[in-house]
Amino acid sequence: MTGNSSPVKPECSDRSIKLLQLVSLVTVICVFLLIILGSVVRVTDSGLGCPDWPLCYGKILPPLEMTAIIEYAHRFVASVIVGPLIILTAALTWISFRKQLWLVVPATISIVLLIVQALLGAVTVIRELPGEIVASHLAVSQLLLATLILVTVVAYIGPLRVASGNKAMSPRDRLPLLLLCAAIAVYGVIVSGSIVTATGSTAACMTWPFCQGQLFPKEFAEAIHMGHRLVVALAGLFIIYVLHLGIRAKDRPKIIKIMSMVATTVFMVQVVVGAGIIWSGFPVSLLASHVAFATLTWAATISLAFLAYAEKAKSLIEA
């Protein structure tokens, strides 16, 4: 990378790179906010605030009812702001970085996931909120966020290096792989949480950390809910361990250490919020916050994984 300020492609102009960096970052932030808005739709039971799709009660504008306004706001942000931003991000990679697979591939996948999300959103309304579709909608949104984070990291830092023969993946340097596994564990936690919601098991357990004093309850809803807590506990131990390695890594850029500390803090806050939901009687604000912190944990850990690969590759190239 000597003699070139671009972390992506020598023949591309700085203007194109800076534009992609800005657009991809804004897109990531907007997708994150859209996921939070979607959680507000869910916890306020506004999913059928507009009982038809794509219109709302057959009209372009919703009636002045709270649930309709909340659902309409989610649709508006998704279709008018987030959708065009994702398309713009992909278009920029196709036009200016078509030879850069680390940009073109995830950007193209984001378009596919965007289409899948739109279809799932339509099916959710048409079929009147089936649990499995609602859960799938959340799971796909997290994957969409990850693909856009990858585009952003590559735009700012440079391509990832994951080949088995590369020094970045030597047997003595497992942090990037461990961070990727930790991110997958966070994703598993989110999916298990969405299953709790999909099966209507959110309020099945009224005590914490055990469910009505039981570690393995026999009732289906209670078992689903308690299963999520066990997933959080087991995955959480691994996640904290890996983030601890990120904090203590001496040969890593400072951003890895800082983000590891941030991810650890956010994850712990999410656990406390989860307990607070039970203790305080399932308030809407905490239910929405739970999804927000889970998504933020996912974004932080998957960003860490991408950064660990990219930063290591960058340091090797510069050396």
**The pLDDT value given to residue 5:** 43
Give the whole-angstrom CA distance, residue 90 versus residue 11: 19
**The pLDDT value given to residue 3:** 38
Residue-level pLDDT, tens digit, the chain, 319 residues: 333 445 555 445 788 899 999 999 999 999 999 999 988 988 888 888 888 888 888 888 889 899 999 999 999 999 999 999 999 999 999 999 988 999 999 999 999 999 999 998 888 877 876 778 888 889 999 999 999 999 999 999 888 876 544 444 444 478 899 999 999 999 999 999 989 988 888 889 989 899 988 999 989 999 999 999 999 999 999 999 999 999 988 777 888 999 999 999 999 999 999 889 989 888 888 888 998 999 999 999 999 999 998 876 555 444 4
Distance of CA 115 to the CA centre of its chain: 17
**The pLDDT value given to residue 75:** 92
pTM of the model: 0.88
User: DSSP letters along 103-138, please?
Assistant: HHHHHHHHHHHHHHHHHHHHHHHHTT--HHHHHHHH
Q: Which residues contact 172 (CB under 8 A, 6 or more apart)?
A: none
